Amino acid sequence: MVKKKKRPGKIRLLIQCAFGALSNGHLIGFKTGKIYTGALKVLCAPGMNCYSCPGALGACPIGALQAVLNSKQYHIALYVFGFMTVMGTFFGRLICGFLCPFGLVQDIIHKIPTPKKVRKLPGEVYWRWLRFVLLGVFVILLPMIVHNLFGIGDPWFCKYICPVGTLEAGVPLVLLNPALKDAIGWHYAWKIAIAVLILVASAMIYRPFCRYLCPLGAIYGLFNRFAIYRYHIDTEKCVGCGACQSACKLEIPVWKKPNSMDCIRCGECRHACPTGAIKIK
């Protein structure tokens, strides 16, 4: 008799909430509409957490990456890439599953009952490469190449796409600051439209931002194969029943690809495996 693994859902939710609260612990900011300006912000948060969120205690790694790449002095972001390499090597996309506040938001919205839950889009395999395109073009190339007269570039991903900044920072700051409220225009409307689209999609599709758009997830996903925390299939125990794939909300054939770049390490597959063949290395 194989001992059934404990369902990780509740523990994961608790860790997500605790880490979300910890990384946004500047609570006074939500009252005053002012962001934290202390030295802790030199450190990057492991997940997507906008540094302009009134509660944020750390820097967003994707925002920080663009800030270094688009500045006058640097064209390579060693500090931020180094941080991502270390985090990726330890955890891979376990960070997406357990430590990302925007992942938590999407998880909660997905619990809302809808007439139909979509497990995958037509052409799913190709859509999943979009996050690499966004990483290459909007996070790296455009901030590096396109500069104004003063030699400073824009954070293209944050400016035109990132729904995290809109939700965590744009909405609360505009509500709390009349001056910012007066300044909103088409750009704000565009960002709100993207954020609403992703949040609505989250109710039907599991983690659409993480699947298709997140550049940080794209980077961490590259480490899933090599990370210290990774899965291993015990081939003597695996019967190839596909229960892991059925349990996976991201439709990953875990028994064939235990360290897929898409896997956020939620652990549902390990719980579902009838023979306990999915091990943590």
Partner 1 sequence: MKRKTWIIPSCFLIAGFLMIVLGISRGEHHTVLEKAIKICLECIGIG
| Chain positions contacting partner 1, by CB under 8 A | 35-39, 41-42, 44, 50-52, 56, 58-60, 63-64, 67-68, 71, 73-74, 77-86, 88-90, 154-155, 158-159, 162, 165-166, 169-170, 173-174, 180, 183-185, 187-192, 223, 226-228, 281
Q: Give 274's contacts (C-beta < 8 A, 6+ positions apart).
A: 2, 239, 241, 243
Q: Which two tokens stand for residue 204?
A: 């039907």
Smallest gap from residue 238 Cβ to partner 1 (A): 19
Residue 60 or 248 having the CB closest to partner 1: 60
Q: Comparing C-alpha atoms, which of 6, 12, 16, 29 is closest to residue 176?
A: 29
Residue 207 or 230 having the CB closest to partner 1: 230
Q: What is the DSSP string of 216-275?
A: HHHHHHHHTTT-SS-EEE-TTT-----HHHHH-TT---TTT-TT-TT-----HHHHH-TT
Smallest gap from residue 221 Cβ to partner 1 (A): 14
Angle of CA points 264, 265, 267, to nearest 5° = 135
Residue 70 or 260 having the CB closest to partner 1: 70
Residue 51 or 206 having the CB closest to partner 1: 51
Smallest gap from residue 89 Cβ to partner 1 (A): 4
Residue 74 or 129 having the CB closest to partner 1: 74
- The answer to whether the beta carbons of residues 264 and 96 sit under 8 Å apart is yes
Smallest gap from residue 175 Cβ to partner 1 (A): 11
